[in-house]
Amino acid sequence: MTHRDRKTLIYGLGESGVAAARTLMDRGEEVVVADSNDSEHLRNLVLELGVEGWLGASPEVLNEDFYRIVTSPGIRPHNAVLAAAESRGIPVLSEVALGLSLLKAEAPGTRIAAVTGTNGKTTVADMIRTILEEAGVPHIVAGNSWRALSSCLDGVREAGLLVLEISSFMLHYLEEPGFDVAALLNVRPDHLNWHSSFEEYVSDKLRIFDWQNPEDLALVSATDPVGQNAIGRLRAETIVVGKAETLVKGGRLFLQGREIAAAEELPFLGTHNYENALFAAAAAERFGVRLEDIRKGLLNYAAKPHRMQVVAERGGVIYVDDSKATNPAAVVASLESFEEPTVLILGGSEKETDFAEVLPLLSRCRCVVCQGEAGPKIFELLKKNEILAEVRLVPDLASSVAEARKVALPGDVVLLSPGCASFDQFAGYAERGKAFAGLVAREPVREAAS
């Protein structure tokens, strides 16, 4: 049986699903596309692709003879179609898994650095990108917050080096990865509305190390219990970031005992970002980048939007957009970056996460403003635990910015670090961050006391 005799179902018509469909069609494979939703946009998309399409799809779509399903990362495993596929023994893989299988077949010499973690993976991938560019090393960055891998396979083959940001959703359906460099930054409770349990989430994250060889490199954090517990079973050479000779010591960053830079030289804040920089440095060095180019890359690094981004200073108050902080562990990292009194904006859409780890950090806050769908639950938790900071409850982001303006004093930081997803009010964290900056810009400046 040739690939032309087999059909692949592409389930989910977001960016990754469309990329997967086009990639397989370019290779002469028969493709059927499906989505659980139905809209004019999706109907037009199916027409544009020129293939058979099922919209408002139910498990009936599987009555056709498919030998595999490629699913979008946002679709949960217990979705009716995927659950039916599992019961029928139809293999399910992610778009990233599809892209990697094609690379393995068509460009087996491609080197891959894969980065995962609850927090920081986009930043580390971006830091690696900046370092490689500084060193003049050809590469492509793809995955979670970047382009769909299957949309840039030609570029990856030409460059010979892939930097892959990979989420737990993508890892869930990934078999035999065997990455040259695999970095697990941290694992904290998150996405428990997608995974069946925290244990499954941990298991999926640890897949990043599967099928590595002794000549490969595994990177874990000294502060992450999941990574630490995995060290004994890792086959690859392992570097523990934050321990031995790869760490921040005396305000300076060291890679395998060699100084990269002083923390005060770097254009970003926070101990978590210094650790991110060390992960990126270790990965880049494995691909032959010299220490001086690693240093130049980090000194020239510009943080991506909505990650500890100062958006305004008004009336002596600094407003910081950390909308990308969509879980409690990210909030902890953000709060640890400031010595100034902070007015913290928490809340958004509910992900069933526990904010207990944030509680010890709230003593440095002047006020915590709880907002959005998860706001009442967070508000009750903070009141129950009688934190020292004042706690206020408002319905939405606009109200929270107005409330923060009332409370903040000159010299304070107003920090949007919500610890929640954004889908109760916005299409994504980027839209939420832009809305925050817009609300701050429209707010009147505090009048000086007479």
Strand runs labelled E in 1-126: 7-11, 30-35, 52-55, 66-71, 92-94, 111-116
Which CATH number, 3.40.1350.10, 3.40.50.300, 3.40.50.720, 3.20.20.140, labels domain 3-90?
3.40.50.720
pLDDT of 450 = 29
Number of Cβ atoms within 10 Å of the Cβ of 205: 25
Give the pair of three-digit tokens for residue 279.
Answer: 């992960």
- What DSSP line would sit under 356-402, residue for residue? GGGGGGGGGEEEEEE-STTHHHHHHHHHHTT-SSEEEE-SSHHHHHH
- pLDDT per residue as tens digits for the range 397-412: 999 999 999 999 999 9
User: What are the residue ranges of CATH 3.90.190.20 in the chain?
Assistant: 309-440
3-state secondary structure (DSSP) of residue 322:
coil
- pLDDT per residue as tens digits for the range 215-243: 999 999 999 999 999 999 999 999 999 99
Evaluate whether 207 touches 177 at the Cβ level (below 8 Å): yes
pLDDT band at 351 (very low <50, low <70, confident <90, very high): confident
Is the predicted pLDDT of residue 4 greater than 70, yes or no?
A: no
pLDDT of 309 = 85
Query: Which of 23-32, 242-251, 300-309, 431-440 has the lowest average pLDDT?
Result: 300-309
Residues 6 or more apart whose Cβ sits within 8 Å of residue 357: 188, 328, 329, 332
CATH classification of 309-440 is 3.90.190.20, yes or no?
Answer: yes
Mean pLDDT of 81-102: 94
Is the predicted pLDDT of residue 195 greater than 60, yes or no?
A: no
Beta strand 258-262 pairing with 252-255: antiparallel
Number of Cβ atoms within 10 Å of the Cβ of 360: 11
Give the pair of three-digit tokens for residue 14.
Answer: 């977001």
User: What are the residue ranges of CATH 3.40.1190.10 in the chain?
Assistant: 97-299
Mean pLDDT of 277-292: 98
pLDDT band at 396 (very low <50, low <70, confident <90, very high): very high
Q: What percent of the chain has pLDDT over 70?
A: 95
Is the predicted pLDDT of residue 372 greater than 70, yes or no?
A: yes
pLDDT of 365 = 95
Indicate the burial class of 127 (C-beta count within 10 angstroms; 0-12, 13-18, 19 or more): buried
pLDDT of 196 = 66
Mean pLDDT of 368-385: 95
pLDDT of 443 = 58
Give the whole-angstrom CA distance, residue 159 versus residue 139: 5
- Prediction pTM value: 0.78
Domain 97-299 fold: UDP-N-acetylmuramoyl-L-alanine:D-glutamate ligase (3.40.1190)
Mean pLDDT of 253-261: 97
Q: Which of 262, 263, 253 is nearest to 285 (CA)?
A: 253
- pLDDT per residue as tens digits for the range 93-135: 999 999 999 999 999 999 999 999 988 899 999 999 999 999 9
pLDDT of 194 = 58
Residue 164 per-residue DSSP state: E
Indicate the burial class of 227 (C-beta count within 10 angstroms; 0-12, 13-18, 19 or more): buried
Number of Cβ atoms within 10 Å of the Cβ of 109: 7
Q: What percent of the chain has pLDDT over 90?
A: 76
Is the predicted pLDDT of residue 65 greater than 50, yes or no?
A: yes
pLDDT band at 447 (very low <50, low <70, confident <90, very high): very low
